[in-house]
């Protein structure tokens, strides 16, 4: 089976408080995008990595990674993923990953791809640690059955293409919800806090601290 990794890096990082889109900002000594690109391209099960960047970011990408395959994204994450999926030929499986999650533990990729033997989709999840409040009803939401969802998310390519093409709901925040809506089963595997997303200004230092602690 041929496996591609699709890294979506076409967002503007508006919540990050940084001058550049966050995936081009330095993190632990390298631009954020270089971390996940390196981890995914080094993984023995990954045959090809494709990066989705914003229009006009071609030179920024080349400055970081040299001449690597890329496509231009769209106005939403969903559109950026769709543009990438359309450019993947001769592949059987795809790992769809946010550039905003710089550190990709190889063991998570192993778990995801193993789970694809049994289901058309697989996602890394972790339990929720905080108390959860529904702001509308002011009621506490039982957190025990809830999970927080990370990327990479792994799919059989034909299944996720169909899910994207048939989605009619509001703007989704990940790809697995589209697969589920199209009738595809999504397996849950154990995620990793190393995969937590860099979204807000303080998340850059938090990510660096996680890397520092893990590599001791
Ligand atoms: N993304 C993308 N194309 C878009 C929007 C987002 O490829 N039109 C990517 C981002 O680059 C990021 C991932 O999707 O790697 C997750 O999105 P998010 O964390 O929301 O990043 P941004 O949209 O860039 O940030 P913000 O929402 O704060 O503007
Ligand atoms: Mg966004």
- Tokens (6 digits) for 171: 């703007």
Instruction: Report the domain count for the chain.
Output: 1
What is the whole-number distance in angstroms between the Cα of residue 184 and the centre of ligand 1? 25
Scanning the structure block, which residue is given the tokens 């990370």? 150
Could you tell me what percentage of the chain is helix, strand and coil, using 3-state DSSP and rounding each to the nearest 5? Answer: 35, 25, 40
Backbone angles phi, psi at 145, to 5 degrees: -85, -5
Residue ranges making up the domain that contains 152: 3-214
| Nearby residues for ligand 2 (ion, Cβ within 5 Å) | 11
What is the whole-number distance in angstroms between the Cα of residue 13 and the centre of ligand 2? 7
Query: What ipTM, to 2 d.p.?
Result: 0.99
**Top mutation candidate among 11, 74, 103 for ligand 1, by most atoms within 8 Å of CB:** 11
Distance of alpha carbon 190 from alpha carbon 195, whole angstroms: 11
Scanning the structure block, which residue is given the tokens 């025990």? 144
Q: What is the pTM of this model?
A: 0.98
Distance of alpha carbon 95 from alpha carbon 169, whole angstroms: 22
Q: Which atom of ligand 1 is nearest to the CA of 12?
A: 24
pLDDT 10s per residue in the chain (216 long)? Answer: 999 999 999 999 999 999 999 999 999 999 999 999 999 999 999 999 999 999 999 999 999 999 999 999 999 999 999 999 999 999 999 999 999 999 999 999 999 999 999 999 999 999 999 999 999 999 999 999 999 999 999 999 999 999 999 999 999 999 999 999 999 999 999 999 999 999 999 999 999 999 999 988
Scanning the structure block, which residue is given the tokens 């391209």? 41
Confirm if 103 and 35 have CB atoms less than 8 A apart: yes
Q: Which atom of ligand 1 is nearest to the CA of 7?
A: 15
Beta strands 147-149; 121-127: pairing state = antiparallel
Please list, residue by residue across 108-129, b when 16 or more beta carbons sit within 10 angstroms of its beta carbon and e when fewer do: bbebbbebbeebbbbbbbeeee
Determine which residue's CA is closest to atom 6 belonging to ligand 1. Answer: 11
Q: Which atom of ligand 1 is nearest to the CA of 9?
A: 11
What is the whole-number distance in angstroms between the Cα of residue 11 and the centre of ligand 2? 6
DSSP 186-215: EEEEE--GGG----STHHHHHHHHHHHHHT
Q: Which atom of ligand 1 is nearest to the CA of 14?
A: 29
What is the whole-number distance in angstroms between the Cα of residue 81 and the centre of ligand 2? 13
139: helix, coil or strand? Answer: strand
Backbone angles phi, psi at 147, to 5 degrees: -135, 145
pLDDT at residue number 216:
81
What is the whole-number distance in angstroms between the Cα of residue 10 and the centre of ligand 1? 6
CATH code of 161's domain: 3.90.550.10
């Amino acid at each position: 089976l041929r496996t591609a990794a699709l890294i979506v890096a076409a967002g503007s990082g508006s919540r990050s408080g940084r001058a550049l889109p966050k995936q081009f900002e330095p993190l632990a000594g390298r631009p954020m995008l270089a971390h996940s690109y390196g981890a995914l391209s080094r993984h023995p099960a990954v045959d090809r990595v494709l990066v989705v960047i914003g229009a006009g970011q071609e030179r920024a990408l080349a400055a970081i990674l040299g001449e690597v395959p890329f496509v231009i994204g769209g106005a939403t994450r969903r559109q950026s993923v769709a543009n990438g999926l359309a450019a993947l030929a001769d592949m059987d499986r795809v790992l769809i990953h946010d550039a905003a999650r710089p550190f990709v533990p190889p063991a998570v990729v192993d778990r995801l791809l193993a789970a694809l033997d049994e289901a058309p989709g697989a996602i890394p999840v972790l339990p929720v640690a905080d108390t959860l409040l529904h702001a509308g009803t002011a009621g506490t939401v039982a957190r025990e059955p809830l999970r927080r969802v990370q990327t990479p998310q792994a799919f059989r390519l034909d299944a996720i293409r169909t899910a994207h093409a048939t989605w009619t709901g509001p703007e989704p925040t990940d790809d697995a919800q589209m697969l589920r809506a199209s009738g595809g089963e999504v397996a849950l595997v154990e995620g990793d806090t190393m995969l937590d997303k860099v979204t807000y200004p303080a998340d850059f230092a938090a990510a660096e601290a996680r890397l520092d602690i893990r590599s001791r």
